[in-house]
Amino acid sequence: MALSASLPGQPVILGFDPGRQKCGLAIMGLDRCLYYHEVIPASEAIATIKRLQRDYPISFLVMGDQTSAKEWRQQVIAGLADPLRIVPVDERYSTLEARDRYWQMYPPQGLVKLIPQGIRTLPRPIDDIVAILLIERYLERLTA
């Protein structure tokens, strides 16, 4: 899901939340401007990263360090003609944080607003939001 109609004028960071069934991808500038985020089937991850490399000036990839991260790191390096530098980021508790962020990004409408946030069912996977959080965690680590 592309967000910005214009291409970034600066290098961007690709966030990657790897998984066995599905993966989350996000592209964000150093200014924290979000350009893209999407959840894709795991089988399409390498092809999608290749396409994103063509479409955006990606400087490197930040990736979660938990679920199948070692295998994915090898697949990404082997699958790309122009390999990206991969920076691992601690992804502990990122799914819980992503649930809260989802409702900030997409506030509930209608009667759903009356349901307490902790028991609302998410209408879609949030792996892309985890990818956004991974980029933000990396940027926070830089400024800390």
- For tokens 């892309």, name the residue: 128
Domain count, the chain: 1
Whether 4 is in a domain gets the answer no
C-alpha radius of gyration, the chain, whole number = 15
Task: Quote the pTM value.
Answer: 0.90
First CA to last CA across the chain, in angstroms?
30
8 Å CB contact between 57 and 12: yes
Q: How far is residue 100's CA from residue 30's CA, in Å, rounded to a whole number?
A: 23
Whether 5 is in a domain gets the answer no
pLDDT tens track for 52-82:
999 999 999 999 888 678 888 888 888 887 8
Q: How far is residue 22's CA from residue 126's CA, in Å, rounded to a whole number?
A: 10
8 Å CB contact between 131 and 22: no
Both tokens of 70, joined, read: 């070692």
Whether 138 is in a domain gets the answer yes
Percent of the chain with pLDDT over 90: 65
pLDDT tens track for 79-137:
887 888 999 999 999 999 999 999 999 999 998 888 998 889 999 999 999 999 999 99
- Is the pLDDT at 47 greater than 60? The verdict is yes
Domain enclosing residue 88, as ranges:
12-143
CATH of the domain at 123: 3.30.420.140
Whether 7 is in a domain gets the answer no
